[in-house]
Amino acid sequence: MKTKHLLYLSTLLEKEIHEKRLFDCSVHVEHRGKAVFSAEYGQAKKDSIYRIFSMTKPITTVAAMILFERGLIDFYDPLYEYLPAFKNMQTVLTNTKGNETLQKAKKPILLRDLLNMTSGIVYPGEACLADRSMRDVQKSLEKESAKGKNFSNVEVCSRLAESYLQFEPGEGWRYGASADILGGVIEVVAGMTFGTFLKKEIFEPLEMNETSFTLSFEDEKRLLPFYSRSGPNNTLEPSSEAEIYWMNNAANFAQPLFESGGAGLYSTTKDYLHFAKMLLNKGTYKKERIISKKTVSFMAKDNLNEVQKKWVNFDNMHGYGYGNFLRVMTHLPTASSNGSIGEYGWDGLPGTYFFVDPKEELLMVYMQQIKDGADQHLRRKMRQIIYSAL
C-alpha cells in the first residue's frame, strides 16, 4: 500500500475543518493487519469517547450470531415466541388515494425479518400512520419514565409492539427499531441483561473496555461535544440543549431508559477498531474466537430480494445490498466506487462510519459527532483516497 497517498485524507479533512463543515474527528485505516493511517483532528484525542448511535447495530448482530451458533435461536423463529406481545400485530394498508387503514398482520415477524429490517417495524416519526404510532409509544414510555417508572429492556421492547407495522413482515424494507427489539430477544434467550451479555461475550474478549451503555462522571471529560449544522452553508455550531435531549444525547450516568441494540452505545475509535478487526479476521481477535469464519461470511451477505430492494431509499446504499444490520457492496458502478464487491459495514446518525473489506484485508473506522452528520460526499472521497492507495 502506498501509505503516502493516505496523507490526502488529512488534506481533505483539514479543508473540511477550515471551512467549518467538520470538527473533532478521528480516522483509522488498517491494511493486512498493520495500521497505515491514524489521526485525530480538532479536540479529538486517541481516548475520546463518541456516541456511536447505529454503529451499535452490527454489535447486536454479532450478539445474535453467538446465540445462533449455540443453537439457541433459529432465524426463522417467530418473534412472538420470545416476546409474546408481537403475536397479533396490526399492519397499515394504504390504498391508491393514500388513505391508511389497519388490518391484522397475515404473517408473523421472524427473527430474520428483524436482522434484515424487513419486519415492518419503524422508528418514531410523522410521515405515516406507522411512524406516528411508534412516536406515540415512545412518548408514553418517556412520560412514564419521567414519573419514576423503571422498565426492563424486555418491557420496553414489548411495549413497542403497541405500534403498527408499515407493511406485512418480509414484504418491504424499512429502517427502524428492529435492532432494539432483537436486543430484547437476546436478553430473553441469554437470561441476563443485554448489556451484561455484550460485556461478557463481546466487549471483554475484544478488549473493548470503554464501550458501554453508560458513562462514569470521569468519562464525561472525554465525551466529545455534539454539533449541529446551521445557516445556508451548513456550518457547525454546538448543539443546543434541546437538540441534545431530542437525540437522547444527554450523557447517561445511570441506566438509560433501556439498552438500545439499535443506537445506545458509547465507544472509542480504538474499541471499535477491535470489533472491526475481529470481523476482518473472520471472527477472531488475538486468540479469542467470538464467532466462526462461516458465520462472519454469512453475516456479510445481501439478504434482500428485488421487491424489498425497491423500498430502500438511503443515499448511503447506492451500489449496496443489505442484511444483518450491514450494508454489503454488490455493484461498484452504481456506487461509483473503486472498492471491492463484498466490502461491508455500517454507520451512525452523527456521521460515525466503518467498513471491512475481506478481499483487500482492509478496514477503516471513522468517528465524528454531528447531528445528521452523514456526509456521503465526504465519505465517498475518503473511500476513494483509501482504495487508491492500494
Question: pLDDT by residue (tens digit) across 77-123?
Answer: 999 999 999 999 999 988 778 889 999 999 999 999 999 999 999 99
Looking at the chain, list the stretches that DSSP marks H as alpha helix, in order from N- to C-terminal side. Answer: 7-18, 57-69, 111-115, 129-146, 153-159, 178-190, 194-198, 241-246, 269-280, 293-299, 306-309, 332-335, 376-388
Question: Which of the four pLDDT bands, split at 50, 70 and 90, describes residue 183?
Answer: very high
Question: ∠ CA 371-242-19 to the nearest 5 degrees?
Answer: 35
Q: Which residue, among 259, 283, 116, has the nearest Cα to 190 in the 3D structure?
A: 259
DSSP codes joined into one string, 161-189: GGS-BSS-TTS----STHHHHHHHHHHHH
Question: Which of the four pLDDT bands, split at 50, 70 and 90, describes residue 58?
Answer: very high
- Predicted pLDDT of residue 244: 65
Q: Model confidence over 347-362: pLDDT tens digits?
A: 999 999 999 999 999 9
Over residues 321-337, mean pLDDT: 97
Could you tell me which residues are beta bridge partners of residue 299? none
| d(C-alpha 339, C-alpha 189), whole Å | 38
pTM above 0.85, yes or no: yes
Cell reading at 146: 419521567
- Predicted pLDDT of residue 238: 86
81: left (phi over 0), alpha (psi -120 to 50) or beta: alpha
Q: What percent of the chain has pLDDT over 70?
A: 96
Task: Assess contact for 270 and 207: CB atoms under 8 A.
Answer: no
- Predicted pLDDT of residue 217: 87
| Residue 247: pLDDT over 50 | no
Task: Assess contact for 6 and 36: CB atoms under 8 A.
Answer: yes
| Residue 216: pLDDT over 90 | no
Q: Which carries the bigger pLDDT value, residue 233 or residue 227?
A: 227
- Predicted pLDDT of residue 252: 62
Enumerate domains of the chain plus CATH numbers.
3-68+196-388 (3.40.710.10), 76-191 (no CATH)
Task: Assess contact for 67 and 291: CB atoms under 8 A.
Answer: no
| d(C-alpha 59, C-alpha 202), whole Å | 8
